[in-house]
Amino acid sequence: MLFKDLGLSAELLRAVEKQGYAEATPIQEQAIPIVLEGRDLLAGAQTGTGKTAGFTLPVLQRLQQTYNESQKRHPKVLVLTPTRELAAQVHESVRDYGQYLPFRSAVIFGGVSINPQKQKLIKGVDIVVATPGRLLDHVQQRSIDLSKVEILILDEADRMLDMGFIRDIRKILNVIPKQRQTLLFSATFSREIKALSSEFMHNPAQIQVTPENTAVELVSQTVYPVDKHRKRELLSQKIGEEEWQQVLVFTRTKHGANKLAEQLGKDGITASAIHGNKSQGARTKALADFKGGAVRVLVATDIAARGIDIDKLPHVVNFELPNIPEDYVHRIGRTARAGQEGNAISLVCVDELKLLRDIEKLLGSPIEKVNLPGYDVDPSIKAEPIVNGRGGGGRGRSNGGNRSANSSNRARGNGRGAGAGGGKPGGYGDRSGKARAHSGGGNRRAS
């Protein structure tokens, strides 16, 4: 379906056309009419499906219909996101799609000075995109008035729960009007998500545009069995021999990200690390250098990677498999965006065989295993438990009021990390066949 057939205003259609889009994605096609009706919505959408435009466009139109320039500006729309990068990305979409409308918007997150944010809020804004921790700082310091919020959006709600934001979300819900429209977007409809939605949503419409936890179509996935101590060597060789120019690499921990970036630098490969312990300035610079080509490899933890949106990112590497299978889907979804083909490879040691089996079970199909010459797995090496969770560490304050990006002690993370396979020569299996899934693609579409 074309955007012009969805009942959007001329100003919004002009902005969409300027971004180079014409055809709506399935999530946009289904969500936009529901949001325009004013209904609550519980939407299941994977990364890369265009969900941001799916709520931004109709919300801007609803705001447009009730806008009164003579009224004092208080936030009418509040968008909550789990990470700074995602908040910045959503805010950019708000500005792009609302460029022909008179609204003011602000993005609020930790890791940067709170004072410029205060000054902008005092002048008055219509739309606020925020991470929960820093937003509560503003509430406590009375630099924001949320009593006029008409529309609340929780973006990537599953990740916010994983990161331990549930208490913060409930605190925010207590200071915004109960009579409002609520939109909840999540990659998965877990029991916790459904319980949360039943607490504060009113008879929500429910849509799921792709099967839960499926990988993005057009992503070619490959597993390279390799001993743990040789992973970095193999990664450097692949990047050099195959001349990869833009590679997003995932590690489990912040320390691991720092160490790998440093080692790649010694191999002559420009690399930066991005994670929750980095200042916001350092994170922004690392991402800008990566997008601009000044840095060849960006090494990231799962949390920091939320919000990294690069249309033509060709390579994603799982240097270490995630402890939670769903995170694998989020990781590889960073490539093959906007109809482009992508390549996702995983370097898997004997410790990670159980994690690999969990991922394949989630995908519903095996991932091709390729044994590279010179990197034969040593069968005498026994599997060791994987102690660290998602990011290593617990919750708490981090960087100017934003919550910590770690949740290794959460129930979902425990019990997944033990190594399996016992180091048997055949432990990796000999199944083959590219693991692919189906979630659309082809034409360039709004994100």
Contacts of 316 (CB under 8 A, 6+ apart): 247, 248, 249, 250, 331, 332, 334, 335, 342, 343, 344, 345
CA 319 to centroid of chain Cα atoms: 18
Residues 304 and 85: beta-carbon distance below 8 Å: yes
Round to whole Å and give the CA distance between 179 and 317. 45
Question: How sure is the predictor about 428, in pLDDT bands with cuts at 50, 70 and 90?
Answer: low
Residue 415: per-residue pLDDT: 36
Two structure tokens written together for 227: 């001993």
> Per-residue pLDDT averaged across 402-431, rounded?
38
Residue 3: per-residue pLDDT: 93
Round to whole Å and give the CA distance between 229 and 113. 41
- Class of residue 291 by CB neighbours under 10 A (exposed 0-12, middle 13-18, buried 19+): middle
Round to whole Å and give the CA distance between 346 and 373. 16
Whether domain 219-403 has CATH 3.40.50.300: the reply is yes
Task: Tell me 390's DSSP state.
Answer: S
What ranges make up the beta strands (E) of 275-371? 297-300, 315-318, 342-348, 368-369
Question: How sure is the predictor about 195, in pLDDT bands with cuts at 50, 70 and 90?
Answer: confident
CATH 3.40.50.300 domain range(s) in the chain: 3-208, 219-403
Residue 214: per-residue pLDDT: 56
Residue 318: per-residue pLDDT: 96
Question: Has residue 337 got a pLDDT over 90?
Answer: no
Question: How sure is the predictor about 217, in pLDDT bands with cuts at 50, 70 and 90?
Answer: low
For the chain, what is the mean pLDDT? 82
Least confident range of 191-205, 227-241, 329-343, 383-397: 383-397
pLDDT digits 0-9 by tens, 41-57: 999 887 667 889 999 99
Question: How sure is the predictor about 29, in pLDDT bands with cuts at 50, 70 and 90?
Answer: very high
pLDDT digits 0-9 by tens, 246-273: 999 999 988 999 999 999 999 999 999 9
Residue 108: per-residue pLDDT: 96
User: In the CATH hierarchy, which fold is given to the domain comprising 3-208?
Assistant: Rossmann fold (3.40.50)
User: Do the strands 181-186 and 127-130 form a parallel or antiparallel pair, or are they unpaired?
Assistant: unpaired
Return the residue matching tokens 């432990």. 427
